[in-house]
Amino acid sequence: MKRSKKFWEDFGERMVDAVLRALGYWCWNVSGDPVTVCYQIHSDRSLYELAEEFADWSASRITSKDLEILEEMPENIYKKFNTKLHKEIEKIIDMLKEEYGSEELEETELTW
């Protein structure tokens, strides 16, 4: 199926947002690792890998169908949103380090 550039841009934005929300929930509420460490562990994974990790999870907005569509995304657009995701994760890591230092974050609440 031929999809428009607007479709891919909108879909890419939605996927980055969904991955960041799922990752945030995972790191703050589920993983058991220090939050900064959790983000660092995930920072080298691709958009697709992270979407796949959180797909069909009840706290995620990512579906198996989204993964299928993501596989069809044109390479140049995929690279753009993969880069955007990594920049956002790095911003979060920097903010956490600045706010809390490198120490383990315990009992800290952040609304995502």
pTM: 0.86
Residue-wise pLDDT tens digits, 57-110: 877 889 999 999 999 999 999 999 999 999 999 999 999 999 877 655 444 444
Lookup result for tokens 């550039």: 5
Q: Which region, left, alpha or beta, applies to residue 107 given φ > 0 means left and ψ of -120 to 50 means alpha?
A: left
Q: Hey, where are the domains in the chain?
A: 5-100
Cβ contacts of 41 within 8 Å, gap of 6 or more: 33
